Amino acid sequence: MSEERLDADGRDGGPADPAEARPDRPPMAGLLDTLSVKRNVLVGVAVGVALAAIVYLVRALELLGPVGGTRTYPVLGADGFFLLLAVVLASATTLLVASVLTVVSAVRAVRASTE
């Protein structure tokens, strides 16, 4: 017999073990495999790093010409500042690409299961 908990009001709070309260579910690994999450993240990382590298090189090497006006970048300098921006761009692009690819995989999986 499972031990039951009482909440602050003295009512039955359900089983003491939270695993007993959950319905049977398929393992999370199966869902991740079905949605190809690992592949989507790897593609997202590749796209994000490539985009950030291209934008950083265009800016740092001034491939499109010098930027008009002068600015000072106090702590890290211009190269450090743009390197940090490149990291932010890479991570945001990775998240966006991986999310879009995962949604596309989910839509395909739902359509395949309904046919």
Inside any domain, residue 101: yes
Q: How confident is the model at residue 66 (pLDDT cuts 50, 70, 90)?
A: confident
Inside any domain, residue 75: yes
Inside any domain, residue 100: yes
How many separate domains does the chain show?
1
CA–CA separation, 53 and 59 (whole Å):
10
Inside any domain, residue 99: yes
Inside any domain, residue 54: yes
pLDDT digits (tens, 9 = 90+) for 23-35: 666 678 888 888 8
Inside any domain, residue 10: no
Asked if 101 contacts 45 with a C-beta cutoff of 8 angstroms, the reply is no
**Residue 94: pLDDT over 90:** yes
Inside any domain, residue 8: no
Q: How confident is the model at residue 91 (pLDDT cuts 50, 70, 90)?
A: very high
**What backbone phi and psi angles, to 5 degrees, belong to 74?**
-60, -50
Name the DSSP class of 4: E
Inside any domain, residue 20: no
Residue 40 domain boundaries: 27-114
Q: How confident is the model at residue 14 (pLDDT cuts 50, 70, 90)?
A: low
How is residue 51 written in tokens? 């985009």
